[in-house]
Amino acid sequence: MSGMTEPFTIDRMLSLPRLSALRLSPDGRRLVVAVGRVAPDGKKMSTSLWQVDPSGSAPARRLTRSTAGEGASTAFVEDGSLLFTSSRADPDAKPDKDSKPPHALWLLPADGGEPRLLLAPEGGVSGVAAARDVRVLAIGASVFRGAGDLAEDARRGEARKDAGVNALLFEDYPIRHWDHYLGPRVEHVLTAAIPDGDTAIKQALDLAPDAAGVTFEDGGFDISADGSFIVAVRRVPNGIPETFDDLVLYDTVTGVARQLTPRNAAYSSPAISPDGRLVAAVRLSWPTPADAEQAALVLIDLATGEIRTLAEDVDRRPEHLTWGPDATVLYLTADDEGHHNAYRVDLPSGAVTRLTASGHVSDLCPAPDGSSVYALRATMSNPAKVVRFDAHAADQTPAELPNGIDEGGIAVASRVERIGITADDGTPVGAWLVLPEAASSAFPAPLVVFVHGGPLGSWNGWHWRWNPHVLAAHGFAVVMPDPALSTGYGQHMLDRGWGQWGGTPYTDVMAITDAVVARPDIDATRTALMGGSYGGYMANWVAGQTARFRAIVTHASLWELVGFHGTTDHGPSWELEMGDPYTDESGYRRYSPRENLAAMAAAKTPMLVIHGELDHRVPISEALILWTDMRRMGIPGKFLYFPDENHWILKPQNARLWYGTVLSFLDEHLNATPFERNPLL
């Protein structure tokens, strides 16, 4: 196949399809998946929707095509029609060169044809869920606070536009989230019926029109099979640092709300059982500086209000809850020893079966007859593919569906190994090692250590933004450790790193590094370390702890933790781990990388600093202080700045610059090759 011998460059990686949002039709005869590729202009990613045959007999077929591309929020309606979001232009509207179409809700008929516009609130649609048995929807949308209906919302938006006003006035906290300000519109959940024929939704019921603060942001929602109620996560600020993430049931006819959960924890990811009697959710305990947060799978009986904890003997953090065809089976996924596996929970016994044993499994789609599950599965060597596995058997390797999405014959030449060490406290610490094809004792490879973000996270599948195979194709070995605070290794792994970011996580990273450089196929004299977000924090911390690395790359990194508390989007939540900085800053200063500036200046390890202007989680101020300190103290380095990116580098042209600059920087310091500045920079 073409591509089998191509070097795995950044351009090769960008040419691959990115699969997400797998959905199975109610009759089990159609799988739909979102496929992302670089747009024809090369300046953005563009997503289209494709149909895949669950039997594997028919070839995959593209369903949508638009200049704007489609969103990854999709849902099937009871008749097999497909809902999706898109910023495509309304073909029936008069063209307006001065305004961009909102991210709207569209419907594609089950038998094909042209999609029709259902709802286009000016603030955009962020998500959708459809009732299984009737034509009723739950819709996530951004709406002005206090707007009586979408017509009033549109009038208020038009008034701001006509006045040329972009100013915001805040009276609560937080005011930002990841990459956007929380105003003037905020996330709400609406409900509406799908009209027959070609009629659009004229009006939708706002389920919390007067709610203050961040109403529905990231928490999730679901709708009952009969469309009579919605369960959503309502986020309610209650002073700093406390914020309540409540599960609330809303009647879709009256909008009357009933709170389902006590305010003793944060709840997320609600999933309503097919019979409408139960709600499954994830419960996160409120942590303290002394006690790490704990995640649990809970089941709420809507008739009695009883909350039952499930799978207590499975020491994993549940994600992506999905009911089977009836209320007797619940599926979920969880990080698991360097993988992300699928689990089955049988009710009412609560017995748990791990269905898969390797790879990164997501987007679970149980078949209507309960016999099998469709999913997306990636590995450390391959991006996600559509797979199928048995709904009952333990520890399977899912089978890839024939006639899936063509990825052009990818075959990375890198070798991938699972390795591990035992820390001083007896805890096993795992890692993935990616080796260049030519690495051997005769030709030992230079080593790059990748530290993951989070810090609650894990290396357990294909990674588009931090892809080790691009580096391996360039001749670098890459080790990807899961130190303390990593998920998939039980609560103990979080407990041993909680509140001491530069403590046990740092010693775990160094212990893994020591083990790898002792190998004959690794050149111990040529090592570098890279990380983003928390990994960037660790890169900065390492720069002030040791001079063992020849180079350090720090992306979207934390540098000065005391000031960071006030500039990040959700700073007060840090108090639950680091303590109250207004009474005691020691929890912040103890592990603030800037406190080690003198040692960092003495080591003078060259550093590449990378940051995006639009990042509100780790604001650009962190990079600016770090860069100023580096220049002032004579620490060699470079600063790669992206004015149009946020916490992640998402645009393909910027990804090329990111990888090219990183590789050239590593070449300069590990291979003694002159740094090559991209002419575009």
pLDDT at 213: 56
Q: Is 49 left (phi over 0), alpha (psi -120 to 50) or beta?
A: beta
Quote the percentage of the chain above a pLDDT of 90.
Answer: 89
pLDDT at 92: 83
Q: What is the pLDDT of residues 229-252, one digit of tens each?
A: 999 999 887 767 778 899 999 999
* DSSP per position, 295-341: EEEEEEETTT--EEEE-TTS-S--EEEEE-SSTTEEEEEEEETTEEE
The answer to whether residue 100 scores a pLDDT higher than 60 is yes
What is the pLDDT confidence band of residue 185, given thresholds at 50, 70 and 90?
Answer: very high
Q: What is the pLDDT of residues 57-82, one digit of tens each?
A: 999 999 999 999 999 899 999 999 99
Sign of CA dihedral 656, 661, 667, 670: negative
How far is the C-alpha of 131 from the C-alpha of 136, rounded, in Å?
6
In 3-state terms, the chain is what percent helix, strand and coil (to 5)?
A: 15, 35, 50
95: phi then psi, degrees, rounded to nearest 5: -60, 140
What is the pLDDT confidence band of residue 1, given thresholds at 50, 70 and 90?
Answer: very low
For residues 456-463, average pLDDT: 97
Please state which of the ranges 172-181, 213-222, 252-261, 336-345 shows the lowest mean pLDDT.
213-222
Judge contact between 140 and 189, C-beta under 8 A: yes
Judge contact between 529 and 549, C-beta under 8 A: yes
pLDDT at 97: 73
How far is the C-alpha of 507 from the C-alpha of 530, rounded, in Å?
16
pLDDT at 658: 98
Give the alpha-carbon dihedral of 481, 484, 487, 491, to 10 degrees: 150
670: phi then psi, degrees, rounded to nearest 5: -105, -25
What is the pLDDT confidence band of residue 2, given thresholds at 50, 70 and 90?
Answer: very low
27: tokens are 């009759």
Mean pLDDT score of the chain, rounded to an integer?
95
Judge contact between 119 and 163, C-beta under 8 A: no
pLDDT at 214: 60
Q: How far is CA 23 from CA 112, 131, 230, 645, in A?
A: 16, 14, 20, 30
The answer to whether residue 404 scores a pLDDT higher than 70 is yes
The answer to whether residue 4 scores a pLDDT higher than 70 is no
What is the pLDDT confidence band of residue 5, given thresholds at 50, 70 and 90?
Answer: low
Judge contact between 246 and 264, C-beta under 8 A: no
How far is the C-alpha of 585 from the C-alpha of 95, rounded, in Å?
56
Which amino acid does the sequence have at 127?
G
CA 175 vs. chain centroid, Å, equals 21
The answer to whether residue 106 scores a pLDDT higher than 70 is yes
245: phi then psi, degrees, rounded to nearest 5: -110, 95
> DSSP state, 574?
G
Helix axes 504-517, 534-543, angle to 10 degrees: 80
For residues 443-459, average pLDDT: 98
Q: What is the pLDDT of residues 206-215, one digit of tens each?
A: 998 876 656 7
pLDDT at 518: 98
Long-range contacts (CB closer than 8 Å, 24 or more residues apart) made by 255-260: 255/205, 255/206, 255/207, 257/207, 257/208, 260/231, 260/300, 260/302, 260/305
Judge contact between 564 and 558, C-beta under 8 A: yes
What b/e sequence results for 374-399 when a residue is b if at least 16 CB atoms lie within 10 Å of its CB, and e otherwise? bbbbbbbbbbbbbbbbebeeeebebe
pLDDT at 198: 85
pLDDT at 295: 98
Structure pTM?
0.96
71: tokens are 């969103």
The answer to whether residue 373 scores a pLDDT higher than 60 is yes
What is the pLDDT confidence band of residue 96, given thresholds at 50, 70 and 90?
Answer: confident
Q: Provide the 3-class DSSP secondary structure of residue 33.
A: strand
pLDDT at 381: 95
Q: Provide the 3-class DSSP secondary structure of residue 608.
A: strand
The answer to whether residue 292 scores a pLDDT higher than 60 is yes
Judge contact between 485 and 505, C-beta under 8 A: yes
Quote the percentage of the chain above a pLDDT of 70.
Answer: 98
Q: Which domains does the chain have, with CATH numbers?
A: 415-670 (3.40.50.1820)
What is the pLDDT confidence band of residue 3, given thresholds at 50, 70 and 90?
Answer: very low
Q: What is the pLDDT of residues 516-557, one digit of tens each?
A: 999 999 999 999 999 999 999 999 999 999 999 999 999 999
Q: Locate tokens 């990231």: which residue? A: 218
Q: Provide the 3-class DSSP secondary structure of residue 450.
A: strand
Q: What is the pLDDT of residues 590-602, one digit of tens each?
A: 999 999 999 999 9
Q: What is the pLDDT of residues 476-489, one digit of tens each?
A: 999 999 999 999 99
For residues 186-194, average pLDDT: 94
How far is the C-alpha of 660 from the C-alpha of 658, rounded, in Å?
6
